[in-house]
Structure 1
Amino acid sequence: MQAFYNYSADMESDLKALEDKVGELVKLYHAVRSENLQLRQELAQSRDESRLLKEQMSKAGSRIEALLSQLPEGSL
């Protein structure tokens, strides 16, 4: 019977260690999930800003071309 008691104590110790590891894994999962959501939001915002800047550059290029076309020949 003593051998069974030691086995149970060892098993209990192993289960507690496993429980602790699973708890840490769950915490890590939630932290990574939260960080992933934040990064997705930042990426979406960066894409929006990039799109806006491209539009502004295109408009500026068009304005410069229009101004250049108004200059008399040979003035450059």
Structure 2
Amino acid sequence: MAKLEDLAERVDRLVLRHQELKRTSALIEQQLAAVTAERDSLRSRLAAARGRIDALLERIPAEPAPAPAREPEAGA
């Protein structure tokens, strides 16, 4: 009879462990969903910021390259 009781106890522990793991898995899935949504939001914000920066860069007028500075001539 002791073996049957030991087996029943082990099965009970396994069931409890299984329930704990299911709860942990559900929490991890929720965290993953939240982090994924945050990542997608950040990517979207980054793309919008890049677009604004590109638009600003296009508004900057192109300036001709400055002429090299002339050194004073010797004896002048």
Please state which band the TM-score falls in when normalised by the shorter chain: 0.7 to 0.9
Fraction of identical pairs, as percent: 27
Point out the structure with the larger helix share: 1
Q: How large is the Cα RMSD of the aligned pairs?
A: 1.1
Match of 2:46 in 1: 57
Instruction: Give TM-score scaled by structure 1 length.
Output: 0.81
Aligned length: 64
Larger Rg: 2
Q: Distance in 1 between matches of 2:15 and 2:39?
A: 36
Counterpart position of 2:61: 72
* Alpha-carbon offset, residue 74 of structure 1: 3.3
Which runs of 5 or more residues in structure 2 are unaligned?
A: 65-76
TM-score between the two structures when normalised by the length of structure 2? 0.81
Letter in 1 for 2:30: Q
Q: How does 1:1-76 map to 2 (within 5 A)?
A: 12-74=1-63
